[in-house]
């Protein structure tokens, strides 16, 4: 009996334990699943998206930062014979183009936009290459006069002509020089004549680096001290690097403006182009030449920051700006500042870099 009683007690205890485990298991299976909780990420205000960089406005013909005035480019034909020097206003020009005309003398196309000189001159007559040079500016071209056929070329271009011979305001003769070397202009009076189609600022004519040290000649070029040009028997300008800018000389004589300031440039561009005779004549049977620019291309040299690099130039049409590229086909970038373009007659002119 005792053993039977013990077996019954053990069996009852086992059944009780099993019942307890069964209840516990059922409780675990029937327990509701915990609800999912979404926690929003904490944003660090210091790690917000970076703002868009602010690119300062730059003057289109120099690449120099500043508040750009809405006025057209003013191109002026300036004489460059010994009788005409020193000229007025050249140091304030954004771009100056040097060309060779009849009798192998040099004549300049000075383009003003970012600076306003007190006076510009002496101003001389228009030439056949001028429309190709200034057409991309869609601005004003000021000159003293010209042959009817050449005037027709100007009229057919996008520029607005302002001629002294036609009685335009702002042009006058000074008594300190003899004719025809004495026509001068007041730039403000010339700008005031811009018509409705020539009010806006010009487009960029060259590509500019964001800073001088990023200019193509500085990053890819070779050191240079002197640029000696032989443009013709009567024109042999040179440029010398002074550590900051290129200084101009006419032969061995330092070139200055009427105030005595040295003529300088941040960039000097050599453009080698065909220099051909035209059907226009000059005194004593001389032929008026021109340059083949619109639709043309050729070799050149870009000088910036005391260094030079070979470039290739291309001008798709009369109205398109001159484009400079390096040997790898990339656009050459100038340093912000003024530029002189030396048009070198192909086959007869030259540039010596030393």
With respect to residue 281, please indicate whether it lies within any of the assigned structural domains: yes
Task: Output phi, psi for 116, to 5 deg.
Answer: -120, 105
pLDDT of residue 47: 59
Q: Give the helix/strand (H/E) hosting 75.
A: strand 74-79
Task: State CA 18 to chain mean position distance.
Answer: 94
With respect to residue 11, please indicate whether it lies within any of the assigned structural domains: no
Give the number of other Cβ atoms within 10 Å of residue 194's Cβ: 17
pLDDT of residue 55: 72
With respect to residue 9, please indicate whether it lies within any of the assigned structural domains: no
CATH, residue 98: 3.50.90.10
How many domains are contained in the chain?
1
- What is the per-residue pLDDT across 76-87, written as a single tens digit (0 to 9) for each? 999 999 999 999
With respect to residue 51, please indicate whether it lies within any of the assigned structural domains: no
Residue with tokens 């917000």: 48
- What is the per-residue pLDDT across 224-244, written as a single tens digit (0 to 9) for each? 999 999 999 999 999 999 999
The pLDDT of 265-285, averaged and rounded, is 96
pLDDT at 303 over 60: yes
pLDDT at 122 over 50: yes
With respect to residue 62, please indicate whether it lies within any of the assigned structural domains: no
With respect to residue 189, please indicate whether it lies within any of the assigned structural domains: yes
Tokens representing 128 are 């056949």
With respect to residue 60, please indicate whether it lies within any of the assigned structural domains: no
pLDDT at 46 over 70: no
- Burial label, 286 (beta-carbon count in 10 A; 0-12, 13-18, 19+): middle
How much of the chain exceeds pLDDT 90, in percent? 83
Instruction: Give the domain range for residue 234.
Output: 74-353
Q: For 244, which DSSP code?
A: S
With respect to residue 94, please indicate whether it lies within any of the assigned structural domains: yes
């Amino acid at each position: 009996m005792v053993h039977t009683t013990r077996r019954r007690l053990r069996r009852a205890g086992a059944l009780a334990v099993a019942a307890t485990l069964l209840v516990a298991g059922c409780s675990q299976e029937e327990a509701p699943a915990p609800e999912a909780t979404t926690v929003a990420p904490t944003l660090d205000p210091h790690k917000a998206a970076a703002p868009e960089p602010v690119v300062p406005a730059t003057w289109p013909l120099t690449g120099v930062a500043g508040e750009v005035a809405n006025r057209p480019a003013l191109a002026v034909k300036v004489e460059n014979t010994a009788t005409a020097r020193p000229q007025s206003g050249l140091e304030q020009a954004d771009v100056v183009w040097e060309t060779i005309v009849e009798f192998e003398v040099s004549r300049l196309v000075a383009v003003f936009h970012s600076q306003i000189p007190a006076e510009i001159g002496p101003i001389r007559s228009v030439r056949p290459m001028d429309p190709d040079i200034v057409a991309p500016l869609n601005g004003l071209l000021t000159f003293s006069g010209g042959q009817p056929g050449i005037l027709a070329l100007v009229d057919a271009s996008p520029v607005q002509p302002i001629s002294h011979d036609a009685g335009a305001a702002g042009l006058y003769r000074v008594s300190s020089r003899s004719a025809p070397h004495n026509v001068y202009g007041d730039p403000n009076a010339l700008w005031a004549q811009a018509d409705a189609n020539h009010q806006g600022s010009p487009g960029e004519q060259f590509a500019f680096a964001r800073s001088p040290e990023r200019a193509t000649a500085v990053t890819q070029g070779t050191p240079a001290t002197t640029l000696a040009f032989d443009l013709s028997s009567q024109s042999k300008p040179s440029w010398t690097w002074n550590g900051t800018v290129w200084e101009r000389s006419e032969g061995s004589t330092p070139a200055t403006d009427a105030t005595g300031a040295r003529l300088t440039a941040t960039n000097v561009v050599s453009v080698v182009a065909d220099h051909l005779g035209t059907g226009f004549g000059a005194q004593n049977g001389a032929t008026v030449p021109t340059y083949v620019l619109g639709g043309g291309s050729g070799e050149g040299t870009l000088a910036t920051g005391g260094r030079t690099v070979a470039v290739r130039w291309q001008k798709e049409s009369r109205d398109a700006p001159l484009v400079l590229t390096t040997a790898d086909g990339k656009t050459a970038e100038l340093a912000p500042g003024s530029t002189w373009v030396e048009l070198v007659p192909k086959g007869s002119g030259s540039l010596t870099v030393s």
